[in-house]
Structure 1
């Protein structure tokens, strides 16, 4: 499978290594700020419009910035390139991107977090919330920590996590992300954020009663899990096994949840 990397910072380099380990080829990388050359020897350009090698690309993997992501994705879709989008913070543009994908008969997979562990955590958290719902003694809340270079807050992962908890519970109706100068209402979930140092990512959910606390969490050690999930999403989008040629792309807009459901379809999860 031939992969274009849109963004060649720290994450782009990890994606490159992961793709090569799984037997794929990097055809081109694009980043206006990254110095060349790429570790794989693929050409590095500053903009999508400059990259002639995009014509030989099976799929693009996009990890850039919230202010550039939607434009990058739209440009790739216009060129008919299946795209895996990993940037967060651009989702206000998602409806128009979805219209473009459908109009072009194109392929897009997006997610706020491609980590296999995080996506398993979502399912564990939703089940825990459903089990705790009949017991009002257990209040629910949580928090997330990320490195001090992260530009959005709360994280996209936190939003999805809390959304799944709210879907699973009848007595919790809304999230409060900012600091509270009052007691939370009984139907609120308080879920603040902290930006600190080099923490790759920590999300925790607590069910607390006067007697005890049940806590589940996911802590990322590095970005390798994100890269693996994104490359697996690219393989899924093109019906491709590691080290094999790309198949026909799935047309439409998908999320990593679709990938996970396909992986888990023969289990009890």
Structure 2
């Protein structure tokens, strides 16, 4: 595949290296804060409009890791020009209905995920199953927490929100996630999920099922961003020429179904 990278920070550079290792090429890099050429020799453009006149026009797909305030317009632009886009930026999901409508109206394709790590997405499946197991036993309460580096732009993380949603979808006695500081005891139907930003932590997400008798804790700890890059490239490969809006759930469901059959 010829890939365009929208955003060329730490993640963009890791994506570039992993894509080249898998035999893909980099058609263009788009980042207004980077000048010259990328490590791969690909041209760097200051905007998508500028890149469209160059390497972006030849791209088979784009991978977008930027910021919550820029991702929606990036997605709309790429959809308008029929360039399949895989989006790892989080914090923009309030605009997801608007973006979904725009992508579908353009007959384009979008694959988004709060976290592209295969480990995290398998962790989601484990968490959902655990929630369904604990739901009938009211003596077990559930809560969660996440830790990220102090440069992360959003809080709670998109991964934390997705994790909480997985729990809520499988526990009838929990109806709402609360991410803010609480100056009161949480209500019985609330799932409290806390966030911490410190140091250089790539990412830790935990669910805690607790009773007076014992505690069961399940945790995913990222060692680096390599898992995110590998998953994003896998997702871009899977998206290919498909049209519509997908998530990493669709990618995993397809892969797991093929492995069973």
> Could you tell me the TM-score, scaled by structure 1's length?
0.93
Q: Does 1:152 find its partner at 2:144?
A: no
1:232 to 227, 231, 234: 234
Alignment of 1:198-213 (within 5 A): 198-213=200-215
SS in 1 for 2:235: helix
Runs of 4+ in 1 over 6 A off after TM superposition: none
1:125-144 per-position Cα deviation (integer Å, ceiling 9, x unaligned): 01111111111111100101
Show the 5 A alignment for 1:104-183: 104-183=106-185
Q: How does 1:219-258 map to 2 (within 5 A)?
A: 219-238=221-240, 249-258=241-250
Cα deviation code 1:102-146 (max 9, x no counterpart): 111111101111010100000000111111111111110010111
Task: Tell me, in whole angstroms, the C-alpha distance in 2 between the residues paired with 1:182 and 1:53.
Answer: 55
**Counterpart in the other structure of 1:264:** 256
Q: TM-score, normalised by structure 2?
A: 0.96
Partner of 2:60: 58
Superposition deviation, residue 171 in structure 1? 1.2
Tell me, in whole angstroms, the C-alpha distance in 2 between the residues paired with 1:175 and 1:77: 32
**Count of residue pairs brought into register by the alignment:** 258
Q: Deviations over 1:5-41 (max 9, x none)?
A: 0001100000001111111000110101124431111
Within 1, Cα distance between the matches of 2:35 and 2:217? 43
RMSD, aligned α-carbons: 1.1
Determine the C-alpha separation between the residues in 1 that align with 2:94 and 2:188: 30
Partner of 2:196: 194
Q: Which runs of 5+ in 1 are unaligned?
A: 239-248
- What is residue 102 of structure 2 aligned with on the other side? 100
* CA offset digits 1:126-177 (Å, max 9, x no partner): 1111111111111100101111111111111111101110111111111111
* In 2: Cα distance, 1:55 partner to 1:184 partner: 52
